[in-house]
Amino acid sequence: MNQNKLLLEYALRFRWWILLSLFFGFSGALFNSIGITLIMPIVLAILDPSLLDISSFPPILSKPFSIFDSFSGNLKIALMLATIVFIIILKNVNNMLNSLSSSWLTKRLANSIRDDLFKIVMSVDLDFFQRTKTGTLMSYLETECSRTASSINTAIGMLSISFNLLTFSAILMTLSWQLTLITGFLLFLLSRSNQVFVKRSQALGREQRRISRTYTQKLVETLGGIRLVKSVSQEDNEYQNLVDLIHEREEAALKVEYNSVFIQPLNEIGGICIILGIVIIGKLIFQEDASTLVPLLLTYLILLFRAVPLVAQIDNKRNAFANQSSSVEVIHAFLDKSDKPFLPEGDIEFSSLQKGFELKNLSFHYPGHDTLVLKDINLIIPQGKVTALVGSSGSGKSTLGDLFVRFYDPSQGEILIDGIDYREYNLKSVRDKMAIVSQDTFLFNNTVRYNVCYGMDNVSEEDLLNALKQANAYDFVMDLSEQLETEIGDRGVLLSGGQKQRIAIARALLRDPQILLLDEATSALDTVSEKIVQDALNRLSKNRTTLVIAHRLSTIHDADQIVALEKGTIKEVGNHQELIAKKGYYAKLHSLQFTGIYDKLNEKLKDENITHNPW
């Protein structure tokens, strides 16, 4: 699908509105031409009624206006003036409707393009978001969509102006085909001289969009990392970076404007030269007396004077379209699904977990990388049991969790749910039975109620309050200024870390999931908050198939199964007592976390002749 086909596809979605807009454009051209053509004869008639001769009108108008021959004198002139006024009123009403329909069409086109982009954004897998900057996505979904829609409206505008120009040309041909052919040739030369600006506008438009996307991305990153910026005193540097990008963007926009401003003067000077040339040529072609030549030339020149700016308008539209084409290129590339990662899924509806998950000969590397993060994993996660993943940083715990909820598919091997390949299930039906509580809890800038009930419809007040109580969140929520209707800020900034975790647990409880992923859910909390949150997590995981990614080993002593990972491979599997008794890898991790670290600290302090009292 090339860019023109893309524009045509969206145009066809609104073909009736586009046809209506073109109809208004054609009608406006007709009304405009008729009104201008009749002005000179009427002016002459007002000065001298004897000069009003309808048969001298252009053939295209003489027949319709011959109806006025049945009237005489001032009445005839008055009726013709009233007709012209009526035509002018119709033209302006028509132009108003055309503007309204064009404005509506542009907005609907932008929304239609934006909808298609959102569908892709919502359906691609996580790897796409790791490769694509947030600011770039924002630019695509806002600026580029609007500019692409505007390019279609620009093309419609060019067609409407062309109707005007063709109508004027038809009337000019009836007045003098010789002058019209000469005029057409001169206008063609004028239009060709503008081509250099149109091509330059295309290149400048691409550069302008690139700088705008860079600016948006930098702005998003700076605002998102404002705590880091302030913590390392980088406010001045980041301010200067943004100012530099603003200046670059301004400079790029000015280059586009500078390129455009040459078109209008060039067309105006060229138009004046053409009109002067037509007067001279007309005098040479028509060897008639002034009384005959002057009305003809004046009528012709009035029409031509209105027609020449239309050529300039078409060139301006062409220039705008060329500038907007950079956005069309971007949207065209974004809508191309061939280079984007999508998770295939089957049509088996998942109802309930009977046996559990089985990972068979599973290996995984991230897209675009060859290094295996997980190697030859064979593991059973039984239904209704708690399975904990432990290991040092980089051992593959979180990656295994991502595969568990199918954010990615294995590079080799397979994951079976009740003996059936994960990929054969309808993914939504599986995730509807899942809940995730992670270390980095995401909350929307909305109310407590919205965040707890997110993804669920028709939640009763009783169920909502019960979920908050089980999550140890009820008391602090009731202490908030608006309770359940309290706005909690961007990413829940108005809540503490422990409070955010409890909101996430309440959300998971409300879903009543069969399958649960706890991804280091308490690792970032203080001791008091951890105890409160851990109590809620224990209630949440009861009688559910739970995969726990553990940082603090004290939280998984009671797990039914502990899987110790090292460098992407399974070292040991068993419960806490079994693995401690083995005195293997898990026991080493446990010792390091609970005893070894204090021994090392005391040795270091002893070497430095410092008495250590941990209390």
How distant, in Å, are the alpha carbons of 34, 45, 80, 581 from that of 40? 11, 9, 12, 109
**Token pair recorded at residue 127:** 């790897």
| Mean of per-residue pLDDT scores for the chain | 77
Q: What is the structure's pLDDT at 38?
A: 67
Q: Cβ contacts of residue 18 below 8 Å, gap of 6+?
A: 11, 105, 156
Distance CA 424, CA 430 (A): 11
Distance CA 180, CA 535 (A): 89
Could you please state the CATH topology (level 3) that the domain comprising 3-337 is classified under.
ABC transporter transmembrane region fold (1.20.1560)
Residue among 75, 61, 48, 282 at smallest CA distance from 176: 282
List, in sequence order, every residue forming a beta bridge with 381; answer none if it has no partner.
357
Residue among 422, 394, 419, 428 at smallest CA distance from 410: 422
Instruction: Report the percentage of the chain scoring pLDDT > 70.
Output: 80
List, in sequence order, every residue forming a beta bridge with 447; answer none if it has no partner.
487
Q: What is the structure's pLDDT at 56?
A: 56
Residues of the chain below pLDDT 70: 1-3, 35-73, 194-195, 198, 202, 223-234, 260-261, 263-264, 267, 285-296, 521-534, 593-615
Name the pTM for this structure. 0.66
Distance CA 606, CA 601 (A): 9
Q: Cβ contacts of residue 165 below 8 Å, gap of 6+?
A: 307, 310, 311, 314
Q: What is the structure's pLDDT at 612?
A: 38
62-116 residue pLDDT tens? 666 666 666 666 777 777 778 778 878 888 888 888 888 888 888 888 888 888 8
Helix (H) or strand (E) holding 265: helix 263-285
Distance CA 375, CA 156 (A): 58
Helix (H/G/I), strand (E/B), else coil: 563: strand
Q: What is the structure's pLDDT at 57?
A: 57
**Token pair recorded at residue 485:** 């209707």
With contact defined as beta carbons under 8 Å apart, do 166 and 307 qualify?
no
Distance CA 299, CA 511 (A): 78
Q: Which CATH class is domain 356-590?
A: alpha beta
Q: Cβ contacts of residue 590 below 8 Å, gap of 6+?
A: 553, 579, 580
Q: How many CA atoms lie within 13 A of 224 on its CB side?
A: 9
Classify residue 389 as left (phi > 0), alpha (psi -120 to 50) or beta: beta
Domain ranges of the chain: 3-337, 356-590
Q: What is the structure's pLDDT at 522?
A: 61
DSSP H helices, 176-262, are 177-193, 195-224, 226-231, 235-261
Q: What is the structure's pLDDT at 523?
A: 57
Helix (H) or strand (E) holding 569: strand 569-574
Of the chain, the end-to-end C-alpha distance in Å amounts to 70
Distance CA 169, CA 190 (A): 16
**Token pair recorded at residue 456:** 């669920």
Instruction: Report the percentage of the chain scoring pLDDT > 90.
Output: 0
Q: What is the structure's pLDDT at 441?
A: 78
With contact defined as beta carbons under 8 Å apart, do 168 and 299 qualify?
no
